[in-house]
């Protein structure tokens, strides 16, 4: 097993302020569960300064300028929904979304400066469905895409973005579709929400061949999911030599998840983490929370993933 890498954690308590209606799967309990997954792993907590101006400048690299303002205004009259029925909002949703981006930016800065080999960013709301001009699928700002853009701005190119959430990261794929400096890999259930992510979606223009999708049928288990991740990572490394990695770490493929429809176990997420750690080698890697809606399973899955990612020997 490789030498244990340095792990940092970037989060912010404002991420708990997003409070959808009772019974919604993207509930505040996800945040402490995702944080608990890193406990006892010698992780260093990063200070996260929520500088709204800095966050909005980073958001503008991925989203239209009107999106944050529309969300901020909508939250003033919350509760309600924003852009679609699957995006309920509360008074604290805007602050939570801003804090999530701030945590991702703090993690990128730490990773690219060499302060940590691996950074875990347990935040909510998630981000990989947030389109350039509108919110979608529980997501408001695309945390992973923003992190990748920030890595590029700091000189780390190309960037590999790996998404193993059970739902395809349609917005991340769309953002980098024609880009030659980012490889986007997704392993996900298909057909399923949001309807994208077929195997023939490969990018276009300078980005042709730098998008790779591995769609899996419902009920896929550890063997199927891990085999797809392994094949996808081979594709990444055959095409580019990533200077940095961003992981959309969704744990809703877990067999206990209420909406995922897959059968991945805690151990399966550990194997995925180990493969990512090996693929990234000495390059900085930031993993940001996406889905995962069974809090107890989420905490276990995150721990298993981080143990694998960081090469931590366990008894």
Each domain of the chain, given as residue ranges in start order, spans 7-310
By CB atoms closer than 10 A (0-12, 13-18, 19+), residue 113 is: exposed
Q: How far, CA to CA in Å, does 56 sit from each of 93, 129, 297?
A: 15, 18, 33
3 token code pair: 């030498």
209 token code pair: 């061949």
What is the DSSP-derived secondary structure letter of residue 225?
H
Query: Where does the chain show beta strands of DSSP type E?
Result: 7-9, 44-45, 80-82, 84-89, 118-121, 159-163, 182-189, 211-216, 244-249, 285-289
Please report the pLDDT score of residue 313 as a whole number.
64
Say which residue the tokens 């931590």 belong to. 312
pLDDT single digits (tens) 149-175: 999 999 999 999 999 999 999 999 999
The yes-or-no verdict on residue 91 having pLDDT over 90 is: yes
Per cent of the chain over pLDDT 90 is: 97
The yes-or-no verdict on residue 141 having pLDDT over 50 is: yes
Q: What is the mean pLDDT of residues 206-234?
A: 98
Asked whether 93 and 143 are in contact (CB, 8 A), the reply is: no
pTM (whole model) above 0.95? yes
Pick the catalytic residue from 18, 63, 129, 167.
129
Helix-strand-coil percent breakdown of the chain, rounded to 5?
40, 15, 45
pLDDT single digits (tens) 273-299: 999 999 999 999 999 999 999 999 999
Please report the pLDDT score of residue 315 as a whole number.
47
The yes-or-no verdict on residue 3 having pLDDT over 70 is: no
CATH classification (class only), 7-310: alpha beta
Asked whether 101 and 292 are in contact (CB, 8 A), the reply is: no
Burial 169-201 (b: 16+ CB within 10 A, else e): bbbbbbbbbebbbbbbbbbbbbebbbebbeeeb
Q: What is the mean pLDDT of residues 143-152?
A: 98
Please report the pLDDT score of residue 145 as a whole number.
99
Burial 9-28 (b: 16+ CB within 10 A, else e): bbbbebbbbbbbeeeeebbb
Per cent of the chain over pLDDT 70 is: 97
83: confidence class by pLDDT, cuts 50, 70, 90: very high
Which pairing describes strands 80-82 and 84-89: parallel, antiparallel, or unpaired?
antiparallel
By CB atoms closer than 10 A (0-12, 13-18, 19+), residue 279 is: buried
pLDDT single digits (tens) 5-59: 699 999 999 999 999 999 999 999 999 999 999 999 999 999 999 999 999 999 9
Q: What is the mean pLDDT of residues 250-263?
A: 98
Please report the pLDDT score of residue 98 as a whole number.
98
Q: How far, CA to CA in Å, does 102 sit from each of 13, 49, 143, 177?
A: 12, 7, 9, 25
Q: Specify the length of the chain in residues.
A: 315
Q: Going by C-beta distance under 8 Å and a sequence separation of 6 or more, which residues neighbour residue 261?
A: 166, 189, 192, 218, 219
Please report the pLDDT score of residue 312 as a whole number.
77
The yes-or-no verdict on residue 2 having pLDDT over 80 is: no
pLDDT averaged over every residue in the chain: 96
129 is catalytic: yes
pLDDT single digits (tens) 106-129: 999 999 999 999 999 999 999 999
């Amino acid at each position: 097993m490789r030498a244990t890498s340095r792990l940092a954690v970037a989060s912010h308590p404002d991420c708990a302020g997003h409070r959808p209606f009772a019974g919604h799967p993207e509930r505040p309990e996800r945040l402490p569960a995702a944080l608990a997954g890193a406990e006892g792993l010698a992780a260093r907590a990063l200070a996260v300064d929520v500088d709204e101006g800095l966050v909005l400048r980073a958001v503008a690299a991925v989203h239209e300028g009107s999106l944050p303002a529309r969300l901020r205004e909508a939250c003033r009259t919350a509760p309600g929904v924003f852009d679609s029925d699957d995006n309920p909002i509360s008074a604290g949703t805007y602050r939570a979304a801003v804090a999530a981006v701030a945590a991702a930016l703090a993690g990128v800065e730490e990773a690219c400066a060499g302060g940590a080999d691996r950074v875990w960013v347990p935040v909510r709301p998630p981000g990989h469905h947030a389109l350039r001009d509108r919110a979608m699928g529980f997501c408001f700002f695309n945390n992973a895409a923003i992190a990748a853009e920030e890595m590029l701005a700091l000189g780390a190119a190309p960037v590999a973005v790996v998404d193993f959430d059970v739902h395809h990261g349609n917005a991340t794929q769309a953002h980098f579709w024609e880009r030659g400096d980012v490889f986007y890999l997704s392993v996900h259930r298909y057909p399923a929400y949001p309807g994208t992510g077929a195997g023939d979606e490969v990018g276009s223009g300078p980005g042709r061949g730098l998008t790779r999708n591995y769609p899996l049928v419902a009920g896929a288990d550890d063997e199927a999911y891990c085999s797809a991740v392994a094949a996808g990572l081979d594709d990444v490394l055959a095409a580019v030599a990533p200077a940095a990695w961003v992981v959309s770490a969704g744990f809703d493929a877990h067999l206990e998840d209420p909406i995922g429809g897959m059968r991945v176990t805690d151990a399966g997420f550990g194997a995925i983490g180990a493969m990512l750690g090996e693929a990234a080698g000495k390059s900085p890697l930031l993993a940001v929370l996406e889905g995962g809606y069974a809090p107890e399973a989420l905490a276990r899955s995150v721990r298993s993933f981080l143990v694998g990612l960081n090469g931590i020997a366990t008894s």
